[in-house]
A and B are shown apart, each in its own frame.
Chain A
Amino acid sequence: MHYTSSSYFKIVMIAALVFVPAMAFADNGKASSTAVNIGWASIGCGLAANLALTSFKLARKMIPMKVLVGSGSSQNLASTYSKILNFHIILNSIGFLLGLFHGYLLLRGLDYISLSLVVVMTVSMLSGIILKYASGNNTKFFVRLVHSQFILGVMLVTLVLLHVITKWH
């Protein structure tokens, strides 16, 4: 089945319409409101996107290529990596937007942990976008260093856990 760019755009727009009823019923006083569920969806997207890329990178280092991609050709490996990278980008973009949406709907409960989480998520997202589309070598090198810092990932996981724990009560 062949899709054009306009058909993809239409699919995205139709998918966006799904959120209209969600917004109408958001934060309706129930414990499991849609606004809270959007937050869980954001966490799920982030987990799936980052675990996929991290596990592939770890596997590439630890497991022989023949086992990982079949034939062992570098072209096959590159195409597999490209697919996983695109999956990482798309799911993280969706997760970031869902997180943004969740944050704005529950803006009343803003605290320092949530604010810190927003800062870390924004830095990660911006560095990721720049990394994807930057053309200069120095810029790319700088943004790659920022985006792939281990401490950034640790902070993200810690803040998400703290956010869930504090809001759970």
Chain B
Amino acid sequence: MNINKLIQNKKLFLVIFSVLTFSTIGLSTAYADSDDNQMQALQNQLPVQNTISPVQYHIHNHFRLHHGAILQNPSSGGTPLNNQGPTQSQIKPQTNSAIIAQNAVSNRNSINLQSNTGPNATTSSMTTYDNSVLSGVSTNIAHAETESEANGENGITANNPASSEVAYNGNNQNTMNPAKLDLVLWITIFAITSIIVHSAWKVYKTRRKFAVKKTV
């Protein structure tokens, strides 16, 4: 019996095909479970730094660059210093209406800072003025990030330590907008439905043509 005759044997082909399909599904599901456990174990080994959000990272980066300071836990205390913030001209390009709105909310809050630029490390806390700048900058960064993601640019997250977590999880391999990817599936379903409807219509037309010819 050669391979051509084996293919002609409908029952045998279908049996082999079904067995292979179901065994593949079963075995793969079993291995997918064990794989999940491996990934979970590896995720637990990730450094704590990777768990910060992009906005937190940018706030941290802003103070490192502009204030030469490291964010500290507010509960640890500190002496308020009013002269540590940037001048009005420095923060002007970054201010917007969001600052005014968030300023009202965060008037009574203060964030403690630890300066590492001078010869003696000093601990200070943020004033209302600095806090308003921080809230404005964070709002701008949050909006900028949303826009860049919408445009398919990933410049911010490329330099972000948190992006390694996203890449590791494998859930964000595509730089395209998820809404656009959703469209791909809908186009596929629409195209396949059109093919089926078109083919069915052609069969119907042919049958009708033959029926008319038979009657005539």
Contacts and interface: CB of A to CB of B under 8 A. Distances in A.
Interface of A: 2-5, 8-9, 12, 16, 23, 26-27, 29, 82-83, 86, 89-90, 93, 97, 100-101, 104-105, 107-109, 111-113, 115-116, 119-120, 123, 129, 132-133, 138, 141-142, 145-146, 149, 151-152, 155, 159, 162, 166-167, 169
Given A115-B185, A120-B188, A107 B32 contact: yes
Contacts of A115: 185
Contacts of A149: 195, 199
Contacts of B178: 112
Interface string B183-216: 0110111011001101110110011000000000
Secondary structure class of chain B's binding surface, majority of residues: helix
Interface of B: 1-4, 6-7, 9-10, 12, 14, 16-17, 20-21, 23-25, 27-29, 31-32, 35-36, 38-39, 42, 169-171, 173-176, 178, 181-182, 184-185, 187-189, 191-192, 195-196, 198-200, 202-203, 206-207
B199 A16 contact: no
B192 A120 contact: yes
B196 A146 contact: yes
Given A16-B20, A138-B203, A155-B188, A100 B4 contact: no
B195 A112 contact: no
